[in-house]
Structure 1
Amino acid sequence: MDAAGWFLLGAPWECSGSARGEQAAPHAFREAGLSSMVGRDVGDAATVIDRTDRDEPTGVIALSETVRAAHALADDLAVAMTDLPRRRPLVVGGDCSILLGIFPALRRHLGSAGLWFVDGHPDYLDGLSSDTGETADMELAILTGVGTEALTTLAGTYPMVSAGDTVLIGHRTEGLDAASAAELVRLPSDLRRIDAPTVVRDPIVAGRQAAAWLAGTGTGVWLHLDLDVLDPESLNAVTYPQPGGLDWDQLADVVAPLARSPRLVGVSVADFRPDLDPTGDQATRVLDFLGRALP
């Protein structure tokens, strides 16, 4: 990882409002040495959510606070991208909801952008179909225009990213319960996908395919890494671990063509739980991966 090419922005965002752990990840990664790996650390956006009430019409937890957090992150990211034009952003969550602030900033700063979405789950529910009401169950749906208007219009334009400019990578498709299987059915037909079994079989080919699919998309492509794409045997400090995921080498191989792509505009990392990592060894392992994987 070339430190001079990156700036760090923390997003201590935990969408359930219960402070269960993800909000502490930016601090934990800094304690493990992340600030020294980048050229600039611009601090944290004001994304803390501390309400647990579920909006009755939409089913979304802390809807008004979520909108506020998204705007706060979008503002800080857009300013940093303007002030540091020669550096790519590394945005560290928090949970996957940070994308709801990232893509409005990309729309403002770049126009249109594609998305490589590396995640163990499709995150394609809405507030009423989600058991939890957490925006981390639904951020990919929101980004591609499915969900409550208060969230789908965060960027002012609709959708924030088109389904055809998105690649879902590493999601589980085997041994699913009925609800998870039903979520897969919700995915739009033009949203490209490479599931976990396919990545495991040949991660290098999978990464090259994902890169090729978005080779001409917009003004660039954002890379999102939800750490629950990893199998719990490789990393278990996440909120919703699920078997059948990738190991570290497979994740490195599938990400390599994306991280090296000239289309890459920035990276986000989400869903790390420091409270489930009492020794700090797993945080160190994540930073080792980032140091090797990012250009």
Structure 2
Amino acid sequence: MNKQLSVIGVPMDLGQMRRGVDMGPSAIRYAGMVERLEQLKYNIEDLGDIEIPRPKQNTDEKQDNLRNLNEIAEGSRRLAKAVDEVVENKRFPLVLGGDHSIAMGTLAGVAKHYENLGVIWYDAHGDLNTGDSSPSGNIHGMPLAVSLGIGHEKLTSIHDYEPKIKPENIVIIGARSLDEGERVLIEEKGIKVYTMHEVDRMGMTQVMEETVDYLKDRTDGVHLSLDLDGLDPNEAPGVGTPVMGGLSYRESHLAMEMLHQSGMITSAEFVEVNPILDEKNKTASVAVGLMGSLFGESLK
């Protein structure tokens, strides 16, 4: 993996309704991220936080059933530009969230540098909703659909091109809360999904072996988008949309270790750390631990 690593914080909390997730980047840094990765001999450049515009009106107001559309679109554009520059400079972008709507900006900045960018979506949710299908209007449930070119033009056109990714280059791992519209889209587009049923039945080793085999020949880079709610709430309590029955801490470390061994990850983001909902910064510490495994820590 690229040892030149640039960190970008995104204090975004507009994609959902629970305050506090904008403090996620600070919580992850406080949990010792930079020191952990420097011990692994990475050259760390911390670019600080993207400035996120604040809504001028009540955050409950929606446009086309999309809450805070204009502010999220602008924040995503700023993030896409920053990530684009990092990749242009031949460095590995590591993005810290913030809610999962930030993935629209991350992928917009990364994908223009690849013909066939792969995406591993490590998450309890599919994030494949649109304004039409979303029960809530929360944009953090839409970034994967947007990156496929499905959704509002202000979001799909971020960084002036679309789509960013192809459905056949996506693998979702850990899903256990999918809306009906998302299930339909997964079926229509042929998106590869390992639900918790598959993880339990097959085991994480086989899931990750199949994921690596599936992506290695069809992609020229792979982005990891890891939502901490992919883990069970007992392991990662500080998330806005917890879903019981999730991935374990040990399974997740194994997954990250296997991704490191594959050498295929070219960018990553860790999102939905909410210290207001957390227990003594436990979830941020989990995120940092998983980064350690992704970037080369091993028990061997």
Amino acid at match of 1:251: S
Instruction: Tell me what 1:150 maps to.
Output: 154
Change (3 A) 1:107 1:240: same
Task: Report the equivalent of 1:197.
Answer: 197
1:78 to 74, 84, 89: 84
1:124 aligned counterpart, secondary structure: coil
* Structure-2 residue corresponding to 1:20: 19
Deviations 1:69-113 (A, max 9, x none): 111001111122233x2x322111101111111111113334541
Equivalent AA in structure 1 for residue 251 of structure 2:
Q
| Inter-CA distance 124–88: structure 2 relative to 1 (3 Å threshold) | same
Q: Which moved more, 1:199-208 or 1:42-51?
A: 42-51
Query: Whole-Å Cα distance in 1 between the matches of residues 257 and 232 of structure 2?
Result: 19
Contact conserved, 1:17 with 1:62, CA < 8 A, in 2? no
Counterpart-to-counterpart distance in 1, 2:199 and 2:54: 34
Distance of aligned partners of 1:245 and 1:281 in 2 relative to their CA distance in 1, 3 Å threshold: closer
Aligned residue for 1:125?
A: 129
TM-score (norm 2): 0.87
CA distance in 2, matches of 1:116, 1:224: 6
The corresponding residue for 1:162 is: 166
Aligned-pair identity in percent equals 27
Q: Residue type matched to 1:191 in 2? A: I
Equivalent residue number for residue 41 of structure 2 = none
CA distance 1:34–1:48, change in 2 (3 Å): farther
Output one character per residue of 1:21-79: Cα deviation in whole Å (capped at 9) or x when no partner.
Answer: 111000111112123234221111123544615443x2111111111111100111112
29, 45, 68: which is aligned to 1:40? 45
1:15 Cα deviation (Å)?
2.4
**Alignment of 1:69 onto 2:75:** yes
Query: Secondary structure of the equivalent of 1:169?
Result: strand
Are 2:3 and 2:92, in contact at CA under 8 Å, matched by a contact in 1?
no
2:111 is aligned, of 107, 111, 116, to 107
> What is the distance in 1 between the residues matched to 2:79 and 2:190?
29
After TM superposition, give the deviation of residue 278 of structure 1 in Å. 4.7
Aligned runs of 1:245-260 on 2, under 5 Å? 245-260=246-261
Q: Secondary structure at the match of 2:226?
A: strand
State the Cα distance separating 1:123 from its structure 2 match.
1.2
- TM-score, structure 1 as length reference: 0.88
User: What number of residue pairs does the alignment pair up?
Assistant: 286
SS in 1 for 2:160: coil
Q: Note the aligned Cα RMSD (angstroms).
A: 2.2
Aligned to 1:293: 294
Separation of aligned partners in 2, 1:245 and 1:278 = 18
Distance 1:263 1:289 in 2: 16
SS of residue paired to 1:243? coil
Bigger drift between 251-260 and 195-204 goes to 251-260
Q: Which residues in structure 2 correspond to 1:5-16 (within 5 Å)?
A: 5-16=4-15
